[in-house]
Structure 1
Amino acid sequence: MPEAPKKFLNSTEDYNLQDKNNKILHFIEEVTKNPDEVQKRVLAEILTRNAHVEYLQRHGLNGHTDRDTFKKMMPVIKYEDIQSDINRIANGDTSQILCSKPISEFLTSSGTSGGERKLMPTIEEELDRRSLLYSLLMPVMSQYVPGLDKGKGMYFLFIKSEAKTPGGLVARPVLTSYYKSSHFKQRPYDPYTNYTSPNETILCPDSYQSMYSQLLCSLCQNKEVLRVGAVFASGFIRAIRFLEKHWTLLCKDIASGTLNPQITDPSVRQAVMKILKPDPKLASFIEAECGKASWHGIITRLWPNTKYVDVIVTGTMSQYIPTLEYYSNGLPQVCTMYASSECYFGVNLNPLCKPSEVSYTLIPTMGYFEFLPVQRNNGINSNPLSVPKSLNEKEQQQLVDLADVKLGQEYELVVTTYAG
């Protein structure tokens, strides 16, 4: 299996961006060239390291690591089928139930698929896999939009509240977990993760202070911004609506070089004051633009060097496409990656495509992927995972490996992760 790209060098002098980009693009090419071999190795690795866990023993796998035995012995399940196991872990049972490695925390599902939030057990090393997928995005993007290393990204990133299970494990959304990790907070220098928002503003638990300070910092650095975004389109629209409501306060801060007293978090104030300097000319410019009757193209008016908007606009987020087009003056809307609480999956290798044409290339080192064909009845999709419990034997045999999916066929994605 090709070696994953190394972590980046700290020194800007030693930083050969083109060399790093080429290595990452080569990595993508290598792991996707023969996905079946990579997937076999991934499954064997997952089964080898977890050979003695209770769940695999329960189903009689008995140390087998080959794909045929795995498919024959292991049922395809839904979350509810292992909920009792997850509850045991949540309540403090540290035995090897689903995974041989210690469960480091629970990731809570976003709820975007409907229903209640679920608890996904995860392990420390999953942060490495998530970081790897993030590292693939900008080398791909730079093939289509050159010079992105010459400026900054204006991204509105936020943490959400977290809880503790009775057994003492943290339960929080996957992005909150990532932003609070050393992988994000102590990331080495990389022009592609050079954001207008200081870490302290992203990690501020008060949503008002976080949004206000992130917007203020981005306005102070408006000429340096080359790309803008948030995770979901809804989050980016929320930032623009916040700007509509509070631009007079923001202009006052920029003109005077003093920070609004409503921002009380000491670490946020300290981080913002390193960026905020008195700039009456910039304040007058922002005031003139925001004071106009129309906010059409406000993104390109305030941040004139912006090349694209980086947000998820697929699925339920597609409703925001017209609003984004209005505010951004028709800038490309880019969906870069496909990920979930359960597993990170893949990247968009054609990022400047229309939102309606977005597709993702799965990176086969992320987990073991299988595909369950979706049957159509009278033109309506019948969801094969709506069965009460595990799939029956016939449905089990329908599972298709990553290398064998057919163009034009619709599938449900079935995933086996390193974390169990």
Structure 2
Amino acid sequence: MSSFSIRQLTFGTPEGQTHSHSYYDISVLDDAASRVLVHRMSFAERQPEPSDTVRVGIVDVADGRWTDIGETSAWSWQQGPMAQWIGGGERFAFNARDGERFIARVFDASGRDAATLGRPLYAVAPDASFGLGLNMARLDALRPGYGYAGGSESFMDNRHPEEDGVWKLTLDGDGEELILSLRDAVRFLLAHLPLKQRLEHAVRRYHYWFNHAKISPNGQRFTVKLRWRKPGGPWNGTQGVSLTCGTDGTDVRLLADATSHVLWLNDRQLYFWRAGELALFDDTCPRGTRRGVIAPELIKKNVHVRHLPPGPLDRLGEMVLDTPYQETVDLLLHDEENGETETIDRFEGHRPARGPFRCDLHPAPSKDGNAIIITSLRDGGRQVYLATRGG
């Protein structure tokens, strides 16, 4: 018997009305675990066009009531409009479109407009003092399914533009700063690659982009994926590295290559899927240092995993994870200290299992780790479910 119970929060599949939360590594639940940010869609299994919109709303966990906030055409299948709470529930934000530019809109807890950011928001510092933004138009051009369609600032005529990269944003909309440009990141990368790999980059003339920015618990560093491909050519997970950098733009480090689903455990350590294992690394200079492998008997394939509770921990204990990229997906609870694992629930009907239109569970826990939001195709369309400990 699972220590968590599952309850469906959103409905509408027979009427063609589906729902999802944005992503697994942002705050989609407020700190009280009483409200979840959700977006509502009306089609499936095709790439969004610039005119395709979703409705963003707040779902009340107690009764499933939907409070409509607004419409946006800045969204993707895998990460939605990055709708997330700021400061535990005092404010929230989601990305939007202003003509051919992407922006972010910030609201107070009641849904009133509070600020407009000049760039899309990707990650929010734990103390809500700032956010990080990435170029979602370039991301869409180079990794469809994650960026936003139709933006005018992809800079695709430049393989590694110096005027684009990771932006530090004030959440009142008053300021922005480019703290790590693509050009500087690529120069750093090439300086730390073996000669053979440097020559490959020179010959193939890759285009580079950033994705998956995440801020350390103390807000002093961030990690980001630097990836590359030839436009229109093949891409796989080995064509990228994870960097870490100070949030003031200094002290860039090469965490590791070919990483996936990177998360901060604390201010000094991160864990991620790499080379057939869920690895724990120290954020050391100039390269990360591997410290061990997590749950090797259980985790043999890439997963979305969050430690519980999701704040900084000295060592891993309880974790929630899914088993993605297959038609039947399990939601698991694992305790690394005693080695015990239980299946919270099994979700069938996840077709397609792979590709840009797949539906991952993306388990997103509450602040105390006692509630978990997921999105599943269990009833035939994307809908949001809540797992509650002891519920």
Larger RCO (alpha carbons 8 Å, 6+ apart) = 1
TM-score by length of 1: 0.28
More strand by share: 2
